[in-house]
Amino acid sequence: MRLYVNVDHIATVRQARGTDEPDPVRAAVLCELGGADGITVHLREDRRHIQDRDVRLLLETARTGVNLELAATSDVLALAEEWRPMQITLVPERRQEVTTEGGLSLGTEEARREIGAALQRLRGVGSRTSLFIDPDEDSVRFSAELGAQAVELHTGEYANARGAERAQQLARLTNAAALARAAGLAVHAGHGLTYENVTPVAAIAEIEELNIGHSIVSRAVLGGSERTTREMAEILRRART
């Protein structure tokens, strides 16, 4: 099982101030030192968190693989063609959403044509291609037909479910993972996974990669607050001695 850490949320804090810290590229180095197998970033069309500069520097400095998440639109696809990251995950994108709300919808001919064309464009790039999909049979089948190399199963509904519904969502993920593997796809998963809910998903044998961001960054902020306050208090104390 590979852990890919999504550092978008570090960039969100930076963008809130429009300054140069915290830097997601520096955070990526620390994640790698902590054992991350790769770094995930989502270059959104509105550039609300990760910037082009972040991806460029990350590609130069990461010692592990970079998984670049993109919508299947021509301007970001052109950047992916130029940058050639180790992996590209196509995701749906809606401007108003707070975060990616669901998997790619592949139910219509038109949607499949659009994703198929994007995969075709990326074929020459040499990056591993993955589609972020809901854990259902049709989405897995369409992904295999379109020629993706991997799928990332959306775990958001599992993460939001409670009680008996959570067991149902876990069964859905387990089933989709088995179908995807049987169809020859590599199986990834992610979204909304936390220290509390990740264990049953990590136990699904077919899943070989998890993409986790918000929960890791949240714990870093809380876990670091005591030490960093002490460091600032020490500077204030020293200023008068």
Q: Return residues touching ligand PXP (CB under 6 A).
A: 6, 8, 42, 69, 89, 91, 99-100, 132, 152, 190-193, 211-215
Active site residue 191: yes
The CB-of-87 to ligand PXP minimum distance in angstroms stands at: 12
Active site residue 42: yes
Alpha-carbon distances, residue 73 vs 6, 43, 126, 214, 235 (angstroms): 21, 11, 18, 25, 48
Bridge partners of residue 70, in order along the sequence: 90
- Other beta carbons within 10 angstroms of residue 9's beta carbon come to 20
* DSSP secondary structure of 158-204: HHH--HHHHHHHHHHHHHHHHHHHHTT-EEEEESS--TTTHHHHHT-
The CB-of-51 to ligand PXP minimum distance in angstroms stands at: 15
Catalytic residue, from 9, 49, 69, 157: name it: 69
Alpha-carbon distances, residue 174 vs 5, 140, 198, 235 (angstroms): 22, 12, 13, 52
- The span from the CA of 104 to the CA of 98, in Å, is 16
Q: Which is nearer to ligand PXP, 219 or 234 (CB)?
A: 219
Catalytic residue, from 9, 49, 154, 191: name it: 191
Q: Which is nearer to ligand PXP, 93 or 206 (CB)?
A: 93
* CB-CB contact of 187 with 153 (8 Å): yes
| Chain center to CA of 64 | 15
Q: Which is nearer to ligand PXP, 50 or 146 (CB)?
A: 50
Could you tell me how many helices (H) and strands (E) the chain has, helices first? 10, 8
Q: Which is nearer to ligand PXP, 100 or 139 (CB)?
A: 100
- The span from the CA of 174 to the CA of 71, in Å, is 26
Q: Which is nearer to ligand PXP, 47 or 233 (CB)?
A: 47
The CB-of-213 to ligand PXP minimum distance in angstroms stands at: 3
Active site residue 49: no
Catalytic residue, from 9, 42, 49, 188: name it: 42
Supply the residues annotated as catalytic. Answer: 42, 69, 191
